[in-house]
Amino acid sequence: MSLTKWGAIVATVALSCVPNAASDGTVLPVGTEDLPELPDREGDVETLPTWTGDNDLVDLTAAWVDHDPATDVITFTIRVANAETLKTTPPGHDVLCTFEGNATIGDEVRGVLAVTWIEFQNHSDTHHAARLIRPNGNEVLKHSFTAEATKPGYFRFGIARADLLKLADEFRDPKGHCSGIVPIPDTPYSSGSAGPIDAADSATSSAVYSFMELRQAVNAAGEPLDPIEGFERHNATASPTTSSAEEVADRTPAAGLAAVVIAMAVTVFATRRRQ
Ligand SMILES: [Ca+2]
Ligand SMILES: [Ca+2]
């Protein structure tokens, strides 16, 4: 039996066993917040004196992937420590977060799957994007988006599993970052560069989420999970994040790397911002 078929069977069995429906038939969310693909510490935002915003708004605390069997939508969620100040972003700053990972089929990397939200100063709506970033051009992905400006804050991007499976089997080695940046009027975004970064937080992980098996196949510390652990993961309610995963996730890249990624993320919004 091929691995693919085995995976499909495991996924089917697991889903049929998961108690995701209440007695009245209401579908309950399958939570994965406690075992995120991308964990990160709270309170580890690096700032410059010129940052006047709330650190908690750019404090990435976790990002994860989960699947709703009722809608067959896969949701990518970014959590920050507190998004209550989302609509009052500090004067002179744009704020954004990105959650991304390699989209792979087998060992082949098909591109970087990235979801991004950005709150421009003086704009009332929260911009968002889901893309497959490739060397020869990006593919914009149809998605739903919700932002919960709460403590903690949640930013959710829903993509149909059928659409994702056309692109990749797995989401590997996720990264994330949140930043407060100083916009430079007119030209910088269109040229692909952003202004000074006054606040930044980032995270990396070795996790793998399988779009075929609808589960975390490798945890954030790089430890493979067997299908039973995958099943248990779906039922997780209050499992603490392992310390090893925290350590892996907190190898914070230097600001220089963050700047490159931010430039990519911000470029996509350049046209809209000038409208
Ligand atoms: Ca953090
Ligand atoms: Ca961090």
Pairing of strands 153-160, 60-68: unpaired
Q: What is the pLDDT of residue 91?
A: 81
**Tokens representing 134?**
């490739």
Check residues 24 and 201 and name the one with the higher pLDDT.
201
Q: Compute, in angstroms, the gap from residue 55 CA to the centroid of ligand 1.
A: 10
CA 60 / ligand 2 centre spacing (Å):
7
Nearest ligand to the CA atom of 82: 1
CA of 18 to the centre of ligand 2 (A): 32
Å from CA of 43 to ligand 1 middle: 6
- Nearest in space to 103 (alpha carbons), one of 78, 138, 71: 138
Q: Which pLDDT does position 120 carry in this prediction?
A: 87
Distance CA 35, CA 37 (A): 7
Is residue 17 within 8 Å of residue 221, measured between CB atoms?
Answer: no
Q: Tell me the two tokens of residue 237.
A: 């309610």
The neighbourhood of ligand 2, an ion, using CB within 5 A, equals 40, 44, 201, 203, 252
d(CA 223, CA 233): 14
Question: Considering every ligand atom, which ligand is closest to the CA of 59?
Answer: 1
Helices (H) and strands (E) in the chain, counts: 6, 14
> Domain spans of the chain?
3-274
User: If we measure between CA atoms, which residue out of 238, 158, 169, 178 comes closest to residue 53?
Assistant: 178
Ligand at shortest distance from the CA of 204: 2
- Average pLDDT score over the chain: 78
Q: How high is the pLDDT of residue 32?
A: 79
Residue with tokens 């196949």: 217
* 11-29 pLDDT tens trace: 333 333 333 333 444 443 4
Question: Within the chain, what is the greatest distance between any pair of CA atoms?
Answer: 59
Reference 263, options 191, 199, 173; nearest CA is: 191
Residue predicted with more confidence, 115 or 272: 115
What are the angstrom distances between the C-alpha of 192 and each of 121, 147, 201? 18, 26, 20
Return the number of other C-beta atoms located less than 10 Å from residue 58's C-beta. Answer: 29
pLDDT-derived band at 234, boundaries 50, 70, 90: low
Measure the CA–CA gap between 114 and 126, rounded to whole angstroms. 16
Counting ligands in written order, the one closest to the CA of 252 is: 2
Q: What is the whole-number distance in angstroms between the Cα of residue 78 and the centre of ligand 2?
A: 13
> Average pLDDT, stretch 158-179?
97
Task: Please list the residues that pair with 176 across neighbouring strands.
Answer: 99, 203
Which residues are CB-contacts of 197 (< 8 A; sequence separation ≥ 6)? 48, 179, 180, 181, 182, 255, 258, 259, 262
Ligand that lies nearest to the alpha carbon of residue 203, given by its number in the listed order: 2
User: For residue 226, what pLDDT band results from cuts at 50, 70 and 90?
Assistant: confident
Examine the pLDDT at 267 and tell me if it is beyond 90: no
114 CA distance to ligand 1 middle (Å): 19
Q: How would you write 68-118 as a 3-class SS string?
A: ECCCCEEEEEEEECCCCCHHHCCCCCEEEEEEEEEEEECCEEEEEEEEEEE
Q: How far does residue 47's CA lie from ligand 1's centre (Å)?
A: 12
Per this entry, what is the length of the chain?
A: 275
